[in-house]
Amino acid sequence: MTKKKRLLPLSQQFIIVLILFTISSIGIIASNAYEYIRLQTAFLDSSLEFYASQLARTAIEAYESYENVCFSAAYSHTVQEYLTSKDRTEKYEKYRQLWNQLNNTSLLSPYIVDIAVFGQDGTFASLTSTAPDYQSFADDLTGSRFSFCAAGTATINFTLCHILAMPIYSLDAGEISQLGILFLAVDVNHLLNSSVSQTESDYDPQILFTDSHGNLVYGSERLYREIGHTSERTSGPYVTDHTSSINYAVQKYSISNIDYSLYVLVDRGYTTGQVARISLRLLLGIGASLALVLFLLLLLYRPLINSLKQLTDHMKSISAGDRRSYRNGVNIQQGFLGSTEIDEISTAFNDMLKQTDLLNHTIFNTYTKMYELENNNRKTEIAFLRSQINPHFLYNTLTMICGMASAGMNDKIISVTNALSHIFRYSIKGSDMATLTEEMDIVRSYLMIQEERFGNRFRVRYQFSEDSYDCLIPKMIIQPLVENAIVHGLEKSLKPGTLRIGAGRNPQHGYLAIWIFDTGVGMPASKLEELRAAINGAASYQTGDATADLADMDAQHHDSIGILNVNSRMTLYYGTNYSLLIDSEEGVGTNIQIRVPYRTKQEDDSEPVFKGEEENNNVPSDHN
């Protein structure tokens, strides 16, 4: 006969496992909690001496520091002069000095309430009190030889203070004589409370402080009486507060430099009680949470995980590039116990796929159109700005040609005309980019015209590194700056000047620096800051209409239109990190620097690097 198997539903099996797991967990937790309480109690007994010694050490160190304070104050030059001074006027001045020193000394500790000097001849000085407050202590100590000691307690400035005393002896050579006594009033309550707060425990022990005669200075009188009562009956280190039924462990320490005693009392039941309560709450919380979590997992785990796994597998297929999964969407099979959230997630995910596909097509088409439009607009604006040759230059050159014609200077007319045509042909033909060598040919043609006009009014000096000549730069960016240097710098100067043009490569940041320096009249600091602000803000007021932007710049900065024109072109080509750098000093001259990314014809196909690529250019952005 075949034995019938007993079958249980999976949910019942899971509940049985849950019950057994909960019972075993509770047993383990209870056992560990009991062992923890026992070990913590033993640890408390064994570590009491260290714990209490920490508190005592803090108080002892505080009184040692007060001894140092008293010694440094008592034997300072100011105190000695005040106690030995005889002249009334001098004594008043010494009193002021003494008061300032005592006040500065009191700042060494927040628990110093008062510092007083009591002279043998009745002289008295204090920060906050009067002589009667210390008279009784002075009478007890006068006539006796003593060192640093505790004189007792007194209320100083409405505060119960511990009075510390230090004798003051004369420092003069010869016979040693006592000049007086220095008193230091310390707030005992704050001092000992601070000692307790500096420990690492979150439990504050009871502190008792007694003087050399056994009188209680600080702490509970009831506990002090219990300590005395216990010491008569037993020598054990424990005392029980019969009023509160608290059992304390007691440790006694002596503060030898003032002959006082410190008692530290720790509640032995505090830690064990806390541990027991925490363990009980932990046991109940873990049990309840465990039961709830496992019960919910029983109902939701499998269908939820299966649904999420289907969704994850579908997402992985899409990530792997499966276009069919992307088009078809996800269809989650939840089984008998389904979840509306899972169904909503699958629906929302499919809608998201559709919208993402539509948005991708829209973004791609829009971005393509915007890029083409922006690229065309930028090229148009650059071409317009480059075409704006200064009409003053053309007017002055034609006037000079007329003068030469009237004087019959045919050879010079031919040279100037050829140079002028060379400049115009260069500016309107060919690529937007040219090598520095080609650009400098135009600059030299321009300078030849200006030298014919100005004669020996200025000299030109060139300083170019060997690797700078092949670098590609935008056309017509040097000539307007050279023209600006001559017209607004050298021409206005009453003395002969120098024009320096140079270039050098910066390999670290990957750019070529071009500078134009003139020794002309320079410009005032206010004008320089105004021009720098216009250069730095040029990108912000560009409207996209080159004609309107140029007219606006001309209206606001007519004298600097050439500089701003070049700056606008540089920011359109390379971005705001490549705007012009300018420095000038009135009466000294002006220096303008251009920076362009270092590219040669072998590295570049002569296409301009527009400002959309500026993040690829590793160049400092500080233009000042």
Q: State the Cα–Cα distance between residues 98 and 94, nearest whole angstrom.
A: 6
Residue found by looking up tokens 């937007």 in the block: 432
Give the sign of the dihedral formed by CA 424, CA 425, CA 431, CA 436.
Answer: negative
Q: State the Cα–Cα distance between residues 250 and 242, nearest whole angstrom.
A: 15
One-letter amino acid of 614 = E
pLDDT of residue 595: 94
Per-residue pLDDT tens digits for 503-529:
999 989 889 999 999 999 999 999 999
Give me the sheet containing 260-267, strands edge to edge: 216-218, 206-210, 260-267, 246-255, 238-241
Q: Does residue 245 lie within any of the structural domains?
A: no
Q: Does residue 285 lie within any of the structural domains?
A: no
Q: Is the pLDDT of residue 275 over 70?
A: no
Q: Does residue 506 lie within any of the structural domains?
A: yes
Single out the residue in 163, 190, 217 at which a domain terminates. Answer: 190
Q: Is the pLDDT of residue 245 over 50?
A: yes
pLDDT of residue 369: 58
What letter does residue 143 receive in the DSSP assignment? T
pLDDT of residue 290: 67
Please report the beta strands in 465-532, taking only residues with DSSP state E, as ranges in sequence order. 472-474, 497-506, 511-518
CA distances from 430 to 21, 57, 367, 426, 606 (A): 86, 89, 30, 7, 11
Q: Write out the two tokens for 19.
A: 């019950």
Q: Model confidence at 609, in pLDDT bands (50, 70, 90)?
A: very low
Residue 574 CB: number of other CB atoms within 10 A?
23
The alpha-carbon radius of gyration of the chain (Å, integer) is: 47
Q: Does residue 325 lie within any of the structural domains?
A: no
Percentage with pLDDT > 70 across the chain: 69
The separation between the first and the last C-alpha atoms of the chain, rounded to the nearest angstrom, is: 102
Q: Write out the two tokens for 464.
A: 């170019």
Q: What is the dihedral of CA 434, 439, 445, 446, to 10 degrees?
A: 120
Q: State the Cα–Cα distance between residues 435 and 504, nearest whole angstrom.
A: 14
Q: Write out the two tokens for 579.
A: 């705007």
Q: Model confidence at 41, in pLDDT bands (50, 70, 90)?
A: low
Q: Is the pLDDT of residue 69 over 80?
A: yes
Q: Does residue 465 lie within any of the structural domains?
A: yes
Q: Is the pLDDT of residue 499 over 90?
A: yes
Q: Is the pLDDT of residue 303 over 50?
A: yes
What letter does residue 3 receive in the DSSP assignment? P
Q: Write out the two tokens for 321.
A: 């590039």
Q: Is the pLDDT of residue 312 over 90?
A: no
Q: Is the pLDDT of residue 555 over 70?
A: no
Q: Model-level pTM greater than 0.75?
A: no
Q: Model confidence at 589, in pLDDT bands (50, 70, 90)?
A: very high
Q: Model confidence at 111, in pLDDT bands (50, 70, 90)?
A: confident
Residue 200 near residue 184, CB atoms below 8 Å: no
Per-residue pLDDT tens digits for 408-444:
777 778 888 888 888 878 777 777 888 999 999 989 9
Of these ranges, 189-203, 253-267, 324-338, the one predicted with the greatest mean pLDDT is 253-267
pLDDT of residue 469: 92
Helix (H) or strand (E) holding 536: helix 525-536
Give how far the C-alpha of residue 399 lies from the chain's centroid of Cα atoms, to the nearest Å: 63
pLDDT of residue 584: 92
Q: Model confidence at 48, in pLDDT bands (50, 70, 90)?
A: low
Q: Does residue 324 lie within any of the structural domains?
A: no
Question: Which CATH number fits the domain that encloses residue 84?
Answer: 3.30.450.220
Q: Does residue 136 lie within any of the structural domains?
A: yes
Residue 491 near residue 454, CB atoms below 8 Å: yes
Q: Is the pLDDT of residue 561 over 70?
A: yes
Angle among Cα 502, 505, 511 to the nearest 5 degrees reads 115
How many alpha carbons lie under 13 Å from residue 9 in its C-beta half-sphere? 5
DSSP 354-377: HHHHHHHHHHHHHHHHHHHHHHHH
Single out the residue in 190, 220, 239 at which a domain terminates. Answer: 190
pLDDT of residue 623: 40
Residue 138 near residue 126, CB atoms below 8 Å: no
558 or 76: which carries more pLDDT confidence? 76
Residue 222 CB: number of other CB atoms within 10 A?
12
Burial of 107 (C-beta count, 10 Å sphere; 0-12/13-18/19+): exposed
Q: Write out the two tokens for 624.
A: 């000042």
Q: Is the pLDDT of residue 18 over 90?
A: no
One-letter amino acid of 254 = S
pLDDT of residue 624: 38
Question: Which CATH number fits the domain that encloses residue 398?
Answer: 3.30.565.10
Q: Is the pLDDT of residue 310 over 80?
A: no
**Residue 5: strand, helix, or coil:** coil
**283-287 average pLDDT score:** 71
Residue 571 near residue 540, CB atoms below 8 Å: no
Per-residue pLDDT tens digits for 203-234:
667 778 787 777 777 777 778 777 776 554 34
Q: Model confidence at 2, in pLDDT bands (50, 70, 90)?
A: low
Q: What value does the mean pLDDT of the chain take?
A: 76
Q: Is the pLDDT of residue 47 over 90?
A: no
Residue 591 CB: number of other CB atoms within 10 A?
17
Structural domains of the chain, count: 2
Residue 53 near residue 254, CB atoms below 8 Å: no
Residue 100's domain comprises 75-190
pLDDT of residue 234: 40
Q: State the Cα–Cα distance between residues 200 and 58, nearest whole angstrom.
A: 13
pLDDT of residue 461: 95
Residue found by looking up tokens 């007994």 in the block: 45
Q: State the Cα–Cα distance between residues 534 and 357, nearest whole angstrom.
A: 45
Q: Is the pLDDT of residue 383 over 60?
A: no
Single out the residue in 168, 190, 212 at which a domain terminates. Answer: 190
pLDDT of residue 405: 81
Percentage with pLDDT > 90 across the chain: 12
382 or 155: which carries more pLDDT confidence? 155
